[in-house]
Structures are given as C-alpha cells and as structure tokens.
Amino acid sequence: MKLQYSTPGKYFDAIKKENVNWPVRRDDMFPYADEKHAYWTGYFTSRPVGKGLFRELSRLAHVADNKESLNVLDNEDHSSVLSKHNQRIQTIGILQHHDAITGTAR
C-alpha cells in the first residue's frame, strides 16, 4: 500500500492519466419513490426562505463564536461560553439535517 499527500488537482491529474471512460448520466433521476405512492421531490427548490435563514443563522453563529472566543481569553469561566456554543451548533445541526433543509421529513 502506498500512501501520499494529495490535492484535488493531483487527484484529477492521476485520473486523467488512467484514461478511464466514466459513465455520464444525462437523464433526470428525480423524483424517485421509496414506497408505493411515496415520491421524493423538491430537494433543491423547496424552502428557499428557510435555507436563506439557516445560512444567515450559521453566519451569525460563527460571528458569535469568534467574539466569544476573545471573551474566553479574558475570562477563566469557560463553561457558559461553551454551553452557548454547544446550543448553537446543535440547533444549526438539526436545521441543516438533510430531512429538515429539504423538507422531506414527514
């Protein structure tokens, strides 16, 4: 086995050297059904307002984390800062779950 550090550019250069013809799908694979009369649609077009709000919430959470990290340097009590951080990342994690963001959860 040979392990080496790589980059995306090196990876794609190596693939080109192999001269492999990869299959290309040109047809649409959506919607699909996982049960009789249960179709999955709207992955990329549903809930645009919610997706925008989640993106803004994520940005604001990163701003808050950066600001609070400066407070941690000046304060010896890290527990409240960590608690707020954990609440933020758990909330964002739930909102960005693939079923929540696409609206496919029942």
pLDDT (tens digit, 9 = 90+) per residue, 44-79? 666 778 778 888 888 998 898 888 887 777 776 777
Tens-place pLDDT, residues 22-50? 888 776 666 677 788 877 766 666 677 87
Distance CA 48, CA 44 (A): 9
pLDDT at 84: 84
Question: Is the model's pLDDT at 20 over the cut of 70?
Answer: yes
Strand extents, DSSP E, 3-101: 32-35, 38-40
Provide the Cα torsion 28, 34, 38, 42; round to 10°: -40
pLDDT at 106 over 60: no
What is the pLDDT of the chain when averaged over all its residues?
A: 79
